[in-house]
Amino acid sequence: MSKTAQKVLDEALRLELSDRAELAAELLASLDGEPDKDVEAAWAAEIERRAARARSGEDAGRSWADARDAAKDALSKR
């Protein structure tokens, strides 16, 4: 690690927990590059569609236990 990076790290470690968490999230996000606007818009539309179905009662979802069991089952088949 460069001296500059070490200095930044030392200063960052003195921040409050919430600030360190936000800083870490921003640093990790920066590794992915610029977000694709079309993908972001598609995810926003999908989230809104799912939320509307849940609010209307059309899709009540499933319990955590059922979702966990389904995920475990899917992973065991890999």
Q: Is-above-0.85 flag for pTM?
A: no
Q: What is the pLDDT of residue 2?
A: 96
**pLDDT of 17-41, one tens digit each?**
999 999 999 999 899 888 788 998 9
Q: What is the pLDDT of residue 1?
A: 92
Q: Which two tokens stand for residue 50?
A: 């799912």
Nearest to 28 by CA among 36, 20, 18: 20
Neighbours of 59 (CB within 10 A): 13
**pLDDT of 48-69, one tens digit each?**
999 999 999 998 889 999 999 9
The Cα–Cα gap between 78 and 74 comes to 7
The Cα–Cα gap between 70 and 76 comes to 10
